[in-house]
Amino acid sequence: YPLACVVAGLAKHEAANPPADGGATFSEIWTNVLTCASPFTVPLTPSVPDSAGEAELMSALGFREKAGEDESFDAFLKRTEALVNIAASVLCASSAAARDCGRWLDAFLAGVGGRAPIYACPVLASFLAVARGALGGAREEVAGRVREVLGRADQGVVGKPSHVRLEKLIKDWLGPEGGKMPEGVCEAFYGRDVVAGAGGGGGG
């Protein structure tokens, strides 16, 4: 989360002080880096036809290849979850956290089709692990939408662990302890603008 605060602070500072040469902004570069690392961070949900083969599917989802070998599904999930967690942290280090996290969620859910794809639960769990604090004002509504996805998600050997994790997250979020600050965040900078500039960062 501290890294996310730095990123959010730099983006905020640059928005008020755009590059004089009209070149790419830090926000544009950061977004491109995230998109290349995992499309789900933006989020972009891949549209893959039912006729797609395994190679086409893996490429669309963002699987990597190293030394001629495809990335394992477990490694792909862990990497994707970590990147989505970072993206959510950056969104939350801002006074516009509720709006921006809501837009991210709307965009992701809009891309989830009839039968929720295998990535739906792990991506949502990673995002809400951080963003649930920012979305607390719409907790019941968000929980209902996520549970609708849970009802359509894979519960086989591969999908079950992420399904259980997301289900527990939603249950705890709706419970008496659900209003607690997400674990690992900097409360002073959660849902507040991080000021970057001469003389150091600002606090809250």
pLDDT in tens, 97-128: 899 999 999 999 988 876 678 889 999 999 99
Higher pLDDT, 146 or 114: 146
Query: Is the C-alpha dihedral spanning 130, 133, 135, 139 positive or negative?
Result: positive
Q: Quick one: which of 113, 122, 130, 109 has its CA closest to 79? A: 122
Q: Note the pLDDT of residue 122.
A: 92
Q: What residues contact 64, with CB distance under 8 A and at least 6 apart?
A: 70, 71, 76, 79
Residue labelled with tokens 């009209």? 22
Q: What is the mean pLDDT of residues 29-58?
A: 78
Radius of gyration (Cα) for the chain, nearest Å?
Answer: 18
Q: What is the pTM (predicted TM-score) of this model?
A: 0.80
Q: Is the pLDDT of residue 186 over 80?
A: no
- The mean of the pLDDT values for the chain is 82
Q: Note the pLDDT of residue 134.
A: 92
Q: How many helices and strands (H and E) does the chain possess?
A: 8, 2
Q: Is the pLDDT of residue 202 over 60?
A: no
The helix/strand/coil state of 66 is strand
Q: Is the pLDDT of residue 197 over 60?
A: no
Q: Is the pLDDT of residue 36 over 90?
A: no
Q: Note the pLDDT of residue 127.
A: 95
Higher pLDDT, 198 or 120: 120
